[in-house]
């Protein structure tokens, strides 16, 4: 579908600057797709590995591996498309080592922009239901603390809210 939209933009000779900053599914992208996106006017493209830790990727069922993300970012760089990556820190099973894996991976991925968010379990999601069932959190009315500051909505193994906050700050540095 994305390639069809690009084809139509090119056919109509529409001059546009597009940004796909919400992220694309890297498991559905080929090098030809990246070339077509660039030709159609895409200047920045987001990828959302969410984690640089293999165990976490498997548990959240992303459906791709970290090498596929590297490959798509490399294609973008070669085609002159800027990249934006998204990571989530503080999944309930994560320990400090998991988060450090993500920070290292994000650094090596070398996208032009990187965003780190703390994991927030929203009502109606599978994660929220699991955390309630496991007793890692109580049913609560969500308070908007933002995704980048404040505490987690759930307990972490050996990581305090303060530790998580410091890890997020370190990730940005």
Instruction: Answer yes or no: pTM beyond 0.95.
Output: no
Nearest-CA neighbor of 18 among 56, 44, 46, 39? 44
Task: List the chain pLDDT tens, one digit each, 173 residues.
Answer: 889 999 999 999 999 999 998 889 999 999 999 999 999 999 999 999 999 999 999 988 889 999 999 999 999 999 999 999 999 998 888 999 999 999 999 999 999 999 998 888 778 887 788 778 777 766 665 554 555 555 556 667 788 888 888 899 999 99
Cα 55 from Cα 100, distance rounded (Å): 13
Q: Are 45 and 84 in contact (CB under 8 A)?
A: yes
Would you state the pLDDT for residue 152? 55
Structure tokens at 56: 């976490």
Would you state the pLDDT for residue 93? 87
Cα→Cα distances 42→6, 10, 17, 18, 92, Å: 9, 12, 6, 4, 36
Nearest-CA neighbor of 132 among 118, 143, 121? 121
Nearest-CA neighbor of 90 among 31, 139, 38, 50? 50
């Amino acid at each position: 579908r994305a390639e069809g939209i690009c084809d139509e933009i090119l056919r109509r000779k529409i001059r546009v600057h597009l940004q796909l900053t919400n992220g694309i599914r890297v498991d559905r992208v080929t090098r030809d797709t990246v070339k077509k996106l660039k030709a159609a006017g895409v200047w920045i493209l987001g990828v959302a590995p969410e984690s640089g830790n293999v165990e976490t990727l498997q548990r959240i069922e992303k459906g791709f591996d970290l090498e596929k993300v590297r490959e798509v970012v490399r294609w973008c760089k070669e085609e002159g498309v800027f990249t934006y990556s998204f990571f989530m820190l503080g999944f309930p099973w994560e320990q400090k080592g998991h988060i450090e894996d993500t920070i290292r991976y994000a650094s090596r991925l070398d996208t032009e922009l990187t965003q780190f968010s703390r994991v927030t379990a929203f009502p109606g999601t599978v994660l929220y239901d699991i955390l309630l069932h496991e007793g890692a959190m109580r049913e609560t009315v969500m308070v908007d603390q933002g995704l980048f500051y404040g505490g987690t909505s759930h307990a972490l193994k050996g990581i305090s809210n303060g530790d998580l906050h410091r890890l997020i700050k370190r990730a940005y540095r």
